[in-house]
Amino acid sequence: MFLNRYFLRSILVLSVCSLAACGGGGSSSPKTSFTSTTPTIPTVTTIEPSIIQIDDVLTVGQSTELILFAPDHEVSNIQWSQTSGEVITFYAAHSKVIGFSPILAGDYSFQVIYTEDNSTEKTLTYDFSVEEVDSLLTARIGHVVIEGSGVSLISYASTNIDGDSVNTDSLRWTQTEGPSVTYTDDDTNGKVAVFFDAPDVEKDTVLRFNVSGTVNGDSVSDDIAILVEHTAQSIETDYRYAPFNEQVADVFLYNSDSPAGQKLIDCVYSTKARYSNSCNFNQTPLIAHVSDSPTVDEIMDRVVISHQWMGDQFKQFLETYDNEHNDFKNLLRATTAIVISYDIRPSFYHPYTGAIYLDPSDLWETPEQRDTINQAPDYRAAFGSDLQFEIPWRYVKNNEYANYYSPISYRLSRTLSSSLYDFASLLYHELAHANDYFPSESWDGFNGTETFLTVVNDLFNNSAIQSDDLQRALPLDENWATGGQNELTKLGQVRFQGESANDTQKAYTMEDVANMFKTEGAPQFYSYSSTREDYAILFDAFMMHARYDVSRDVAVSDQNYDQIVWGQRGREGETQIKPRVKFVTERVLPEYTEAASIIDNLPAPQPFDPNKSWRDNLIMQESVQVDTKGLAANLMKLTKKVDSRLIPKDGEARHGSGRKFVY
């Protein structure tokens, strides 16, 4: 996301403030006379490292975790491995906690090798058994977090896939060990998932939770443990002074021997980062400064991850889907790093670090991988709820949704190709932001000692970002030059930036908004979120059309999408929009020399039928004469290819605004 929860609040302040310049107690008592005695020295008990498993009895399919518990020692270089039993899939092998769900009964053995107090290599072993009984209810998945980090715990029942065997109203969550947490919801009864921030601790501390409920009339329950780590690094809570004013995950370089080193992590994803010590281009150069034609391996040197599988999947994506046109490798040259972490939700770009931050939700292939991702809903889901209209959008291909969502309760597997269109459109969007700030024409002009803070502030103060040039040449809002806003821009601030709706805005009907929007130069309502979003949206939709033959629909509807008053497929083909698409594409990806001709020949948009709902307008008659029976047969084939458990994915604000937890 460009205007993410960190950057959204700081952009205006930072553009006018030089942050380099912004940059216990005791008690006493009256003296008294006393008799000198030998003081008693209290006994200090040191807890020696051990492996903890909180489950006394483990059944098939039940989630469990093994915890390397060493609160009084520093442990590093952790490596978990399974030494006996049927092979179990687990992730976070270099973490203090591994979580997994055995699917077969039997005996199992694990070991963990680690370095204790930066000096001695130690090994611990642990054995457990799984009974020949199916687990009816379990909570996933135990893991380690730094104090202050977000946590999501999700319950699953073995009969979820059948639907009505699980009485979700009966679910109860109880914390049974550790400092109390504050849940996102006031009442967690009947909730399949709970969300909270890990409490502050003085040293490694175990939190234990129990979920109980009724499945098929039986009372069942399960325990789950979270290990909370203390961090000595303080958080700068004032958003004006640091890129991250909330705790971020513990991450590492995908390539441990990357020349970028620890400095890259400290600069792009750490609470150590401050604007007063902003990194410079020597410390974290753009990938373009490393190579003007980067290979996948060179890009992976700049990938920072919370879990190994995330980097593996990203590498596989580049190797599989970016080997013809090299779009993503070329676009990545404008970034310093690619951060993929379980706590990033939604994705965003941050110009003060030069990095893109990717939600791994498009990269998982197995439910075990998905288990490692924090599922907390987007905090902006309720923005603009007072408005009487929606302007939904979606990507479509061959009269069918291009993207589908897999409900988490089904625990389905998928291939990387299943999320190709979703992830490709996301990358085109985020990397358009990066190339907006750091276009190819600027790469040779940076002094290595210049900081990102200085460069970006100069760009802001001088309105010298590429998206500013777009507004001067082909403005979306004619009031931009004088600092004003038209009605659609004001509505965009309500819907996407959290501004309160006034009485006039609350009174706008669908027809009012459609009449305003359909003659404008915006392909999508999110264009009015900011001039930066306007720039990126023009690029991502065109690239999806040009590279994948995927079209974008947009309409004006009621809040439930049941009624529409206007809509189009392929709005980028509008006469007033094509010049704006060309302006952006030529600057974001100058290597794409054929783009100008393709843009000139974009077909006119296909209109929606206002007598049909948003969903019913999915199937549109093609402009050429098509045999009706053949079309119907083709559509039936397409429908059969889609798993009935999948949910068609209507577009969110590009960065996830409105994203909710869908069980």
Q: Is the per-residue pLDDT at 622 higher than 70?
A: no
Average pLDDT, the chain: 89
Please report the beta strands in 4-149, taking only residues with DSSP state E, as ranges in sequence order. 50-52, 59-60, 64-69, 75-84, 97-100, 106-116, 120-134, 137-140, 144-146
Q: Partners of 557 in the beta sheet?
A: 390, 564
Domain boundary at 229, 247, 282, which?
Answer: 229
Residues 223 and 240 in one domain: no
Q: Which of 190, 206, 229 is the last residue of a domain?
A: 229
411 against 83, higher pLDDT:
83
Q: What is the mean pLDDT of residues 584-613?
A: 97
Q: At what angle do helices 420-437 and 578-588 cross, to 10 degrees?
A: 80
Confidence of residue 641 (pLDDT cuts 50, 70, 90): low
Residue 510 domain flag: yes
Least confident of 21-30, 147-156, 287-296, 472-481: 21-30
Same structural domain, 494 and 530: yes
Is 289 in the same domain as 149? no
Lowest mean pLDDT among 69-78, 164-173, 542-551: 164-173
Whether the CB-CB separation of 199 and 179 falls below 8 Å is answered with yes
Q: What's the pLDDT at 237?
A: 86
265 and 181 within one domain: no
pLDDT of residue 26: 34
Cα 271 from Cα 343, distance rounded (Å)? 14
Angle formed by the axes of helices 487-497 and 510-517, to 10°? Answer: 110
Measure the CA–CA gap between 385 and 501, rounded to whole angstroms: 9
Q: Confirm whether 517 is domain-assigned.
A: yes
Same domain, 215 and 77: yes
Print the domain residue range for 296: 233-365
Q: What pLDDT is stored for residue 2 in this prediction?
A: 44
Same domain, 340 and 402: no
Q: Are 503 and 496 in contact (CB under 8 A)?
A: no
Question: Is residue 34's pLDDT more than 70?
Answer: no
If you average pLDDT over residues 490-508, what whole number do you get? 94
Distance CA 339, CA 268 (A): 8
Structurally, how many domains does the chain consist of? 3
At residue 81, the pLDDT reads: 98
Whether 283 is in a domain gets the answer yes
* Domain finish residue from 186, 201, 229: 229
Does the CA dihedral 446-448-450-452 come out positive or negative? positive
Residue 610 lies in a domain: yes
Helix (H) or strand (E) holding 396: strand 393-397
Whether the pLDDT of residue 12 is over 70: the answer is no
More confident residue, 424 or 32: 424
The per-residue pLDDT for 3 is 46
Q: Is residue 34 assigned to a domain? A: no
Burial-class residue 260 by CB neighbours within 10 Å (0-12, 13-18, 19+).
buried
Question: Mean pLDDT across the stretch 16-27?
Answer: 34
pLDDT of residue 435: 98
User: What tokens does 110 get?
Assistant: 């694990």
394: pLDDT strictly greater than 70? yes
What's the pLDDT at 386? 87
Residues 174 and 289 placed together within one structural domain of the fold: no
> Out of 101-110, 515-524, 631-640, which region has the weakest mean confidence (pLDDT)?
631-640
Q: Is 148 left (phi over 0), alpha (psi -120 to 50) or beta?
A: left
Return the SS3 of 167. Answer: strand
**Most confident residue range from 2-6, 133-137, 618-622:** 133-137
Q: What is the pTM of this model?
A: 0.90
pLDDT at 212: 95
- Whole-angstrom distance, CA of residue 583 vs CA of residue 470: 7
Residues 629-649, mean pLDDT to the nearest whole number: 61
Cis preceding-peptide flag for 49 (omega within 30 of 0): no
pLDDT at 186: 87
Q: Are 184 and 195 in contact (CB under 8 A)?
A: yes
pLDDT digits (tens, 9 = 90+) for 432-448: 999 999 999 999 999 99
What is the reported pLDDT for 210?
Answer: 97
For residue 652, pLDDT beyond 60? yes
Does residue 655 surpass a pLDDT of 70? Answer: no
| Residue 44 counted as domain residue | no
Give pLDDT, residue 35. Answer: 42
φ/ψ (deg, to 5) at 633: -65, -40
Q: Does residue 232 surpass a pLDDT of 90?
A: no
pLDDT digits (tens, 9 = 90+) for 281-324: 999 999 999 999 999 999 999 999 999 999 999 999 999 999 99
> DSSP string spanning 267-288?
HHS-TT--GGG--BTTTS--HH
Q: Which residue has the higher pLDDT, 479 or 658?
A: 479
Q: What pLDDT is attached to residue 274?
A: 94
Name the residue type at position 653. Answer: A
Helices (H), 595-660: 595-600, 628-641
Q: CATH code at 195?
A: 2.60.40.10
User: Does residue 239 share a domain with residue 196?
Assistant: no
Q: Are residues 505 and 587 in the same domain?
A: yes
Question: Does residue 474 fall inside a structural domain?
Answer: yes
Q: What is the pLDDT of residue 85?
A: 97
Q: What is the pLDDT of residue 624?
A: 39
Mean pLDDT computed over 91-99: 95
Whether the per-residue pLDDT at 196 is higher than 90: the answer is yes
Produce one character per residue of 570-602: b if its CB has 16 or more CB atoms within 10 Å, e if not.
bbbbbeebbebbbbbbebbbeebeebeeebeeb
Tens of pLDDT, residue by residue over 336-388, are 999 999 999 899 999 999 999 999 999 999 999 999 999 987 655 556 688 99
pLDDT of residue 40: 60
Q: Which residue is listed with tokens 């979820």?
A: 160
pLDDT in tens, 256-274: 999 999 999 999 999 999 9
**How far is Cα 318 from Cα 301, in angstroms, rounded to an integer?**
13
Looking at the fold, whether 223 and 239 belong to one and the same domain comes out as no
Verify that 170 and 247 share a domain, yes or no: no
Query: Does residue 83 contact residue 111 with C-beta atoms inside 8 Å?
Result: yes
pLDDT at 451 over 90: yes
Q: Are 638 and 505 contained in the same domain?
A: yes
Would you say residue 330 has pLDDT above 90? Answer: yes
Question: Is position 663 within any domain?
Answer: no
Q: Is pLDDT larger for residue 309 or for residue 637?
A: 309
Structure tokens belonging to residue 528: 């009015």
